[in-house]
Amino acid sequence: MKIQSTALGLLKAPLRIPFKTALRTVTELEEITVQLVDNDGFVGWGSVVPTPAITGDTQECIRADLTAILALLRRAQIEDVWNWKSILPEGQTFSRSAQCAIDVALHDIAARKANQPLWKWLGGYHWIVMNTNMTISVDTPAVMAQRALEAARAGFKSLKVKVGLNAELDKSRVLAIRNAIGEKISLRLDANQGWTEAEASALIPWFAEMCGPIDFIEQPVRADALAAMSRLTRHSPIPIVADESAMTLEQAKKVLQEGAAHALSIKLIKAGGVAEARAILDLAFAEKIPCLMSCMFEVGAGLQAAAHLASMHPAVHWVDLDSAEFLSQLPYQGGVKFTGPEIRCSDGPGLDVNLSGSLSRIAVL
């Protein structure tokens, strides 16, 4: 594959409601897009949302890295999209966010050239309808309960509840949600590293007794606190999911070796693209570890690729790809269909999405 031209763009759209976690608050979508065109005219799209609070990658850093990588791509011959990173200079580091956008775009082109949807090109055998949870952002107990009730009325059968800003208040938040929606809808709690080990040890059994059913607790303590994660995993009545502790394949291996989680959360941006995320899923499947396919609040090509990967991989037990629900309408055409809790991947080639409307914002390279 020879890349003939490249471009950068920016998707921007206001959110219907703010997205709040223990680490950040988002009020507007701002997603950097990448367009690659090969010498046969096939177009591939990639995208990435800067999340410096989680990955450390700022928008300025990502744009600079993308500009440098795109220059390398235009001079290179890509023989294998799974190993395209071999063109990167030794000793020079690039953000995983930038690498993710390039990786998704190259996989998009490869699948389009094969005239297959990405899920099929990745090895999937059949088309499925997936169900995502709906995320309930951190807020007052009353506001969170109301938003949970609205999500339940919209057909969501599971809710991912953001906690971690105040351990005692988290009890009131989750209990208010459970009282509002009843017991038929499962909860998934995500602390985003917000609790201490002592707080997590006290809270988790309380949640299990008072607020069930609960599918899992995601990243209860700091990402680097693997010993604490291991202790919590051994004693928790609710499955513990590693997220920020298992961003890369090597980190995922370490988490599993130390028994620091019952399950893994996979995000393309933190992994660095489809190839690395697929490798983590393959590892988890081999170790009989269930996975959550999640996102970093992107809605463009990155979210599309995550949905395609989730739809074909047997390690994916839960889906958390709900960021499109926070927009009044998607700022592009085609691609995966998000209808409330239902996610339907396209049968069109590649990602079957067109993000060209974003390219007017940043000059073609």
Q: Domain limits of the chain? A: 3-115+356-361, 121-353
Task: Considering only CA atoms, give the Rg of the chain.
Answer: 20
Q: Which value, to the nearest 10 degrees, does the dihedral of the CA atoms of residues 51, 52, 56, 57 take?
A: 70
Q: Tell me the three state secondary structure of residue 225.
A: coil
DSSP symbol at 27: E
Catalytic site residue from 120, 160, 267, 270:
267
CA distance 118 to 305: 8
Q: Which among 20, 120, 160, 162 is annotated as catalytic?
A: 162
Q: Do the domains at 3-115+356-361 and 121-353 have one common CATH topology?
A: no
**∠ CA(341), CA(346), CA(349), 5° rounding?**
155
The stretches in the chain having pLDDT less than 70 are 18, 20, 22-24, 360-365
pLDDT of residue 110: 98
**Amino acid in position 70:** L
Residue 254 bears catalytic tag: no
Question: So what's the pLDDT on residue 126?
Answer: 74
Q: What is the pLDDT of residue 23?
A: 65
- CB-based contacts of 231, cutoff 8 Å, min separation 6: 197, 201
Provide the pLDDT for residue 24: 61
Residue 360, pLDDT score: 62
- CA 262, CA 49: separation in Å to the nearest integer? 28
Starting from the edge strand earliest in sequence, which strands make up the sheet with 3-20, in order? 3-20, 25-38, 43-48
| Segment 185-194, tens digit of pLDDT | 999 999 999 9
pLDDT of residue 29: 82
71: number of Cβ within 10 Å: 12
Q: Is 249 helix (H, G, I), strand (E, B) or coil?
A: helix
Q: HSE, CB side, 13 Å, CA atoms: give it for residue 252.
A: 27
How far, in whole angstroms, is CA 77 from its chain's centroid? 29
CATH of domain 121-353: 3.20.20.120
CATH fold of 3-115+356-361: Enolase-like; domain 1 (3.30.390)
- How much is the pLDDT for 203? 97
Query: Distances in Å between the alpha carbon of 127 and those of 118, 123, 290, 307, 344?
Result: 11, 11, 21, 12, 8
Contact between 281 and 315 (Cβ < 8 Å): yes
The pTM score is 0.93
Q: How far apart, in whole angstroms, are the C-alpha atoms of residue 332 and residue 314?
A: 29
How far, in whole angstroms, is CA 67 from its chain's centroid? Answer: 23
Contact partners, residue 217, CB within 8 Å, separation at least 6: 189, 190, 191, 200, 204, 207, 236, 238, 239, 240, 241
pLDDT at position 364: 58
Known active-site residue 253: no
